[in-house]
Amino acid sequence: MSALPDMRNRNITVIGDVMLDRFWSGASRRMSPEAPVPVVNVTKQEDRAGGAGNVAVNLAELGVSVSLVGLCGEDEHARALRACVEAAGVRWNVMPCAAETIVKLRALSRNQQLLRMDFEESLADYANDLFVRYAQQHLADADLVIFSDYAKGSLELVQPLLARCRELGKPTLVDPKGLEFERYRGATVLTPNLAELEAIVGRCDSEAVLIEKADAVRASLDIEAILVTRSEAGMTLIQSGEAPQHFTASAREVFDVTGAGDTVIAVMAGCLSAGLSMHDAAHFANHAAGVVVAKLGTASVTPAELQSAAAVPRLNTGQDVMSESELASALADLRSTGKRVVMTNGCFDLIHPGHIRYLQQAAALGDVLVVAVNDDDSVRRLKGASRPLNTVSDRMAVLAALEAVDFVVPFSEDTPERVIEVLAPDVLVKGGDYSIEQIAGHESVLQRGGEVRTLNFFAGHSTTGLIERLQD
């Protein structure tokens, strides 16, 4: 995994819906006598840039030289918004119009949001040919262009702007809104959240369906890549000519998701402008989201916070049971920090002392222990119709609860050879009743320069023996 690049010599233009995020906060110690609502004694007001402005501020925090282009009124709120943006070091190139500046007002008490009030009108009437020509003036010096669409109307004519970026050879990232993704045709990267994507393609009940539908959208719109943000399920990157890649959510604590999508697209863009690959840029964007959701309100992430978050291995996150693609991404992150991955497999139908000792020995051979578990059908094929006694989900849950085990993944074949090749462990282990030549997957591990080990077989402990004693 690449290191976080220095972005201080990069230049990015952000075009989109700008708005003022205003926060009123104070103590709340009683309920209103007029209605069943809390009374907040407001003692503090804080203004922050919202929408496209928050994207620009996030970029400036990373050291990027940023120009902000959009539409807003000529009023007190516009002046407050401009002050927020320029205080962060962003160039204010927002075109004034006759509309009132969009404001999102939030009431908070004890760091909890109680109410949000939006003051807005559509800007679509002002996003005309004049604005397109104005915005195009700010494209020439950009290494990359971001379009931040909050469905407020500033990007009503986004297609001519995208077309001009293509003519100039400028990569473009779009945070989309609405039901007409056709208007974003030809963008380089689209960053919808799962709900936004499902509004276009229908419900995605599995990761396979999500990948299939997202890739169909990508291909039909001539887009190079789609990064789908999926809240606690992490992110999925689908790009032309590459296998889909999943990034497990890195947040330890979710405090406030306000503006998290702005941080994702900003970090993704900053990393791409500095020369990182799509995968590495998405890796840092995923960790940035994990940092920013632990902060209150519209927030950004510093390079130091991002570098620190990306360097922390994702162990003991409460998400130890994973799909293959999730686990492959997690292991890639861990290997980038020098972690040694150990892998074993089995049915693990009834956990007994022999299993515990074996798994402890396996864990001692490296930094991370992965256990691949036969699903129910494969156990029946191997052990007979009466097995397993416990479902695969129950067996994996028990394994994940063991201190020695870091990650658990299911497989459906009779042997784990395929999943071993996908996950590429540094060390592959089995019990002492196997020879190395009998261990499924040993060839691929050895060919990569890995190690295959057999561990002590603990006599007197077996699931079959336990079942026989119970029957007796």
Residues 6+ apart with CB under 8 A from 442: 428, 436, 452
- The token pair at 92 is 């204010």
How far apart CA 216 and CA 171 sit, in angstroms, is 21
CA 430 from centroid of its chain's CA atoms: 34
Catalytic residue ranges:
262
Count the Cβ atoms, other than its own, within 10 Å of residue 367.
17
Residues 6+ apart with CB under 8 A from 457: 431, 432, 433
